Amino acid sequence: MSIVTGGRLGFVTFAGTVLGLALFGSLLAPHDPTAPLGAPWSPSGGGNLLGTDALGRDVLSRVLAGGRHLTLTAGAAALVAAAIGIAGGLLAGWHDGPLSRLLHTAADLLLAAPLLLIALVFAVTLPGAVAVIAATVCGGAPLTLRIVGDAVRQVRHAGFVDAALGRGESGPRILGREILPAVAALAGSEIGARFVVALQLAAALSLFGLGPAPPAPDWSAMIRENVSGAALSPAALIAPAIALAVLSLTVAVVGNAAARHARRPL
């Protein structure tokens, strides 16, 4: 096994651990993440590795349990936004004329509107998770559409597309069988990029109190709750912030690695 393969194996293990902890960390939590255990904002030690939070709950348990809702929401939002964007990009890149213009105009209009405003409007009208998905679609799908559309335009006249036309294959079939695999490398990085945006939106909305209702553990809710005690128990503020950063970086890197892997010649 070469160094390169060893590195890849290590990276896959790391990324799997990060995602596994974000989704199923509550199983490893040493205490009930919602039960007060002692004095508020006590420093680490005495059975609480990272100290306690504003209501005296164990910070470590809350960090382990607090990523699930965010990750699932952001993951669903990323998949929906990337799927809509890729489908739109395939159509916009393949067709000339009204359909392509319509799709590009719609994408441009959505991009011109401020994303946070859209997200806030959704947040007050829809349940939290649905608002994140809808806002990610509005903010992310147009970007994916443009990127995928350009990639499709580049391969639209390639020899392998001519060959498929020469076999009498229909437009949808060529898009699905020839063009989508050829631009599949983009899909991985697009899903990764949309996940990061969705995670930011979900965290921002949750920070405004539009996320899961207390006392459910949630990283951004933890940041809001523990800001005032930062001097007494810095870990209660820093730990959820680091968890958010590590999760979004990992997913972004996984997306890019997937794209590189798909492009790699045998």
Partner 1 sequence: MTRDGGLEVSGLRVTGRGGRTVGILPDLHAAPGEVVALTGPSGAGKTVWLAAVLDALEPPLRRCAGTVRWQGEIIAPGDAARRWRRRHTGILVQDAAQSLHPLLTAVASVAETGVDTSRAATTLEQVGIDASLHARRVHQLSGGQAQRVALARALAARPPLLILDEPTSALDSAAAQLVAAAVRARRGDPRVVTLLVSHDRDFVATVADHVVVFGTAPSASPPVPSRRPAAGATVLRVHHLRLDRPGGQTPLLQAVDLTVDAGECVAVLGPSGSGKTTLLRSLAGLHPVTAGHAELAGTRLPWPVRHRPSALLQAVQYVGQHPADTLNPAHRIATAVGRPLRTFRTTDRAGRLATVNALLTRVGLDPAVAGRRPGGLSGGQRQRVALARALAAQPRLLLADEITAALDPASTTTVLDLLGEMRHDGLAVLIATHDPAVADRADRVLTIHDHALHH
Residue closer to partner 1 by CB (options 186, 235) is 186
Task: Report, in Å, the least distance between residue 184 CB and partner 1.
Answer: 6
Residue closer to partner 1 by CB (options 127, 171) is 171
Which residue reads 């007494």 in tokens? Answer: 232
Task: Report, in Å, the least distance between residue 265 CB and partner 1.
Answer: 2
Task: Report, in Å, the least distance between residue 171 CB and partner 1.
Answer: 8
CA dist list (Å): 199 to 34, 74, 195 = 23, 5, 6
Bridge partners, residue 52, by sequence:
58
Cis peptide before 215, with omega less than 30 degrees from 0? yes
202 close to 132: Cβ distance less than 8 angstroms: yes
The closest alpha carbon to 207, from 195, 182, 224, belongs to 224
127 close to 76: Cβ distance less than 8 angstroms: no
Query: Which residues neighbour 174 within 8 Å (Cβ) at sequence distance 6 or greater?
Result: 94, 161, 164, 165
Residue closer to partner 1 by CB (options 121, 185) is 185
In the complex, which residues of this chain contact partner 1 (CB under 8 A)? 1-2, 4-5, 155, 158-160, 162-170, 178, 181-182, 184, 262-266
Residue closer to partner 1 by CB (options 27, 165) is 165
Task: Report, in Å, the least distance between residue 240 CB and partner 1.
Answer: 38
Residue closer to partner 1 by CB (options 115, 262) is 262
Q: How many angstroms from the chain centroid is the CA of residue 154? A: 28
Task: Report, in Å, the least distance between residue 186 CB and partner 1.
Answer: 12
